[in-house]
Structure 1
Amino acid sequence: SASSVEIDGSFEDSDGLKESGSKKRVRSESCNVSTSKACREKLRRDRLNEKYSHLFSRAFSLLFFLSMPSMNVQHFVNNRFMELSSILEPERPPKTDKAAILVDAVRMVTQLRGEAQKLKDSISSLHDRIKELKAEKNELRDEKQRLKAEKEKLEQQLKAMNSQPSFMPPAPAFPAAFATAQGQVPGNKLVPFFGYPGVAMWQFMPPASVDTSEDHVLRPPVA
């Protein structure tokens, strides 16, 4: 109808005012703020014009809507309900029952709120899990540092043990002449060689075993 066309025209005028205000703001922002006082004053006036133009456009739209006849208002409300029904169920034809449309809208809003709450809970649990993983990461880093320090300590102890002299000194070296006399016989035959000289053990034996006065009787010489 003519009144609905006028409503659309009023909204288009308000959109045009918004676009003109935004264009003015773009043109005003192109001016350098620090150039002069006049430029700053122009920016202030543009902001005020944009603010009041939005207010005037909304007030004009509201007054125009209130001045419409009741039939046009009913038609406008019916159109809005049909748009809401098509948004709620786009795959089905729009409903005409306003109560059913409102019930569907409430159900959809409740469902969306529940999903939003589930997402918030999931995000909160993920944040808690991230904190736990960070704590585990810090613990593993500390454990790694501790193991590294223990490894370095063991390596230093091993180096210190390798650098110390052995507790058993090597056998003393004897002169070559003594070694030849004791350890070698004619014919280059090897005999057992003892690194340490023998000790006289006869003084620790009983006197009867040491007595040699009867050897010629007990053990006569071989002919």
Structure 2
Amino acid sequence: MKQPFTFKENGFTLLEVLLSMAIFSIIALTTIKQITLIRNTKDTAFRDIDGYSNARAALSAIEIDLRQAFHVLYQDLGAGSRAILLQNGTVTHTLFDGRKAEIIFTSLSHRNYFAGRRESEQTEISFFLQQTRQSKYSTLLKREAELIDDNPYEGGSSYTLLENIISLEFQYLDPKTLKWEDAWNSDGGSFRDKFPGAVKIKLVVASEKAKPLNVETEFKLSFPNNDPFLVQF
């Protein structure tokens, strides 16, 4: 005798439902992790780009001022200035004093943005690092004094160029030996009344999550008091 035909209702068992939910959760969690990783990588890349751009801008500012550095030889001083110098040793003092992590020089890079203010393009400039209490890193500062006097190491005002500096290093190319020097002073010694043929600057900037940013530049100085030379980079 034939059995009557009946419809059998098939459904998911509890085990199948739990297994499906587990697979879905794994897929969702993996997707979220990938999205988070991509977003973090993107944020880190943008921070590094910003940090690199800021470091390059700071080096560019130093280069602009250094390219306009100038010095007045004793024989080029006016009769009045020479008389003052011989009498008491105080006179407008131009120089190029380059050190390992600091540089002081006189430049023609000053810009007067105020109408009616009597200022020339001559200025005293120094770049140096200063440690801050709020951070374990240093701050790159620029000091500028619009009036060149007998003490180019003091006076004027300072402002921040870049923060979170790990190290700053200057080197100076001797145009005669073509060797990089760690110090250069136009006030005396074999470098008296001379400027380096070129300057090299190395800057290491701290980054939040990535490795420190290393930025470097080197450029020639055109100084008429130097003997003619040709430097190949």
> Under a length normalisation based on structure 2, what TM-score does the superposition of the two structures give?
0.26
Give the alignment's TM-score, normalised by structure 1. 0.27
Q: Whose relative contact order is higher, 1 or 2, with alpha carbons under 8 Å and at least 6 apart? A: 2
* Higher-strand-fraction structure: 2
Q: Which structure has the larger Rg? A: 1
